[in-house]
Amino acid sequence: MNHLVRSLFPFLFCFALAAGPAGAQEWTRFRGPNGSGHAISKGVPVAWTGQEFRWRVPISGASHSQPVIWGDRIFLLTALEAGKERVLLCLDKRDGRELWRTSHVLPMARLGNKNTGYANTSPVVDAERVVACFVSNNHFWVRAYNHAGKELWARDLGPFAAQHGHGASPMIFDQTVIIANDQDGESFVVALDLKTGAEAWRSPRRAGANPNIAAAYCTPIVHHPVGGRPELIFTSQAHGVSSIDAKTGKPNWEAPVYDKRMVHSPIVAGDVAIGSCGSGAGTGNYLTAIKLGGSGNVAKTHVAYTLRRATPYVPTPLFLNGTLYLISDSGIASAIEAATGKEIWSERLPGAEFFSSPVLIDGKIYVPSTKGEMFVLATGGKFELVARNPLGEGTHSTPCVDGGRIYVKTFTHLVCIGGK
């Protein structure tokens, strides 16, 4: 199986499981199908003006949550009263009107950075339910609702401690919801039964009580090795890039080669898994490619290469046709040979800073900036800035794509672009 087919297999497999008869269930978790950032939609506009939004509706509170969609319903998290109240919203995809909301009072200590918030994560949705995390210092609630807003089950995973709050979104695999809980206290990965919330398995992680080990904010992905068992790929400072058995939680391998916090989520790029670490100051950030497979600690045997220039700290990269596409926080866009780390091109995007992750739509890269523009870049062997489009205001949220439309949660609104 060639590298392209192998890299796209998890993405196509997960989409096939999720898609309904109309093929519209495209963006059901953070970064879309299997966290790849790859959209299936065609016909999304490349260029637009502020007068060409399909709709733009205000969202109360503060949120960096990426929306998710099933059918005609959008699900989105937000936080009110400086995080004291957490809200799950359900909106009509057709016009953005609110259908229902459910809220929970969860007092939270003040966070350590003005760029973080109390509603950073995305829900995950399937045909029957939407699952969301509501996290404070004393409680880590995982709650499931039906599409009408009725609570189906709730499970408290205990206290949570991290300088910048909670950032890892839930994901669904094989009738379980997977929760990554790499924090400053007791850390673990847990699989909860989708129907009941009962614990299916728990995989302990090294607690972050060591002051030199930072909490992680990364959402896992599923990888299907050729001829092997499905594995969950994680990134964290404590374990580096790591793999656990997706059905049992048993650890497979890990490469703890990072000395700073890990925020962006992992991706599989051919025969390697990609992770990067960094700090808000941007000093000493680096990206490492880890060869897939092995057993136990593979840090000394499986590092394919390390990049130390213009690497992302927050935005998760994209992989397509053997090439990694990176958007750094400071606005440097790069194309890298995924197998070797060789730079193909690198250019600075003008006047921009990025905390959102890019998405791939119909062969083009879409990435929104903190200044309120959607940059559209061409893929391929040379840099090309295709368009710069207005969003009305800045965003830290990753775009959601569905049915020929793109949805962006800006600082105070949800914007829908395209689609007749």
> Do the bridges between strand 251-255 and strand 296-297 make them parallel or antiparallel, or are there none, so unpaired?
parallel
Greater model confidence, 404 or 82: 404
Q: pLDDT-based confidence at 110, cuts 50/70/90?
A: low
Q: pLDDT-based confidence at 14, cuts 50/70/90?
A: very low
The string of pLDDT tens digits covering residues 20-37 is 333 447 899 999 999 999
> Do the bridges between strand 98-105 and strand 85-92 make them parallel or antiparallel, or are there none, so unpaired?
antiparallel
Helix H or strand E segment including 343: strand 343-348
CA distance 252 to 299: 13
The string of pLDDT tens digits covering residues 187-209 is 999 999 999 999 999 999 986 55
Q: What is the mean pLDDT of the chain?
A: 91
Q: Is the pLDDT of residue 18 over 80?
A: no
The string of pLDDT tens digits covering residues 359-374 is 999 999 999 999 999 9
> Do the bridges between strand 373-378 and strand 385-390 make them parallel or antiparallel, or are there none, so unpaired?
antiparallel
Q: Is the pLDDT of residue 399 over 50?
A: yes
pTM: 0.92
CATH topology of domain 3-417: Methylamine Dehydrogenase; Chain H (2.130.10)
The CA-to-CA distance between both ends of the chain, in Å, stands at 39
Greater model confidence, 14 or 45: 45
Cα-based distances in Å from 242 to 237, 250, 272, 293: 10, 11, 12, 10
Give bridge partners of residue 290 from the DSSP assignment: 273, 303
* All structural domains of the chain with their residue ranges: 3-417
Task: Specify the long-range contacts of residues 92-98, CB closer than 8 Å, at least 24 apart.
Answer: 93/69, 93/402, 93/403, 93/416, 95/55, 96/55, 96/56, 96/57, 96/414, 96/416, 97/57
Greater model confidence, 420 or 301: 301
In what order do the strands lie in the sheet containing 359-361? Answer: 359-361, 364-368, 373-378, 385-390
Burial classification of residue 328, based on how many CB atoms lie within 10 Å of its CB (0-12 exposed, 13-18 middle, 19 or more buried): buried
Residues whose CB falls within 8 Å of the CB of residue 227, separated by 6 or more in sequence, listed in order: none
Q: What does the pLDDT read at residue 299?
A: 97
Q: What does the pLDDT read at residue 106?
A: 87
Can you tell me the mean pLDDT for 400-407?
A: 96
The string of pLDDT tens digits covering residues 280-331 is 777 889 999 999 999 999 999 999 999 999 999 999 999 999 999 999 999 9
